[in-house]
């Protein structure tokens, strides 16, 4: 029996495998390429380049920028973690950090303001 997993980078990929040999070969392989999403996979990675983000609170829009250089970590074929930083466009020096996960087709994240 052999089982394991591997994370590959550039492009970001993740694979798990299970192979059992007892007279017959049986096995499974799960694979995801986060950089080049497979059609209908529902799994993707945030773009690793500057991105405009707009948060709306009580009807008022607040323009932000997510910096490039996100750190992406594949956790399984369906899940990856990401971390990075950004800024609030309307106030000089207003910065923040972001950390989160993509799990299938769901995104969760936390933004912590670190600047004034």
pLDDT digits (tens, 9 = 90+) for 61-82: 999 999 988 899 989 888 999 9
Q: How far apart are CA 29 and CA 81, in angstroms?
A: 21
- The pLDDT value recorded for residue 42 is 67
- SS3 of 58, please? coil
Q: Which of 36, 38, 39, 17 is nearest to 28 (CA)?
A: 17
**Predicted local distance difference test score (pLDDT) of residue 40:** 66
So where are the chain's domains?
2-113
Please state the separation of Cα 93 from the chain's center in Å. Answer: 26
**Average pLDDT of 51-64?**
93
Query: How far, in Å, CA of 33 to CA of 41, rounded?
Result: 10
């Amino acid at each position: 029996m052999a089982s394991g997993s591997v994370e590959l980078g550039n492009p970001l990929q993740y694979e798990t495998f299970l192979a059992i040999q007892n007279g017959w070969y049986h096995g499974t392989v799960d694979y995801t390429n986060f950089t080049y999403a497979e059609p209908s996979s529902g799994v993707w990675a945030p773009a690793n380049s500057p991105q405009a983000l707009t948060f709306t609170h009580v009807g008022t829009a607040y323009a932000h920028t997510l910096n490039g250089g996100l750190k992406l970590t594949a956790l399984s074929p369906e899940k990856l973690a990401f971390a990075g930083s950004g800024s609030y466009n309307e106030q000089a020096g207003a910065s923040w950090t972001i950390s989160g996960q993509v799990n299938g087709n769901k995104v969760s994240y936390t933004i912590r303001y670190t600047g004034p």
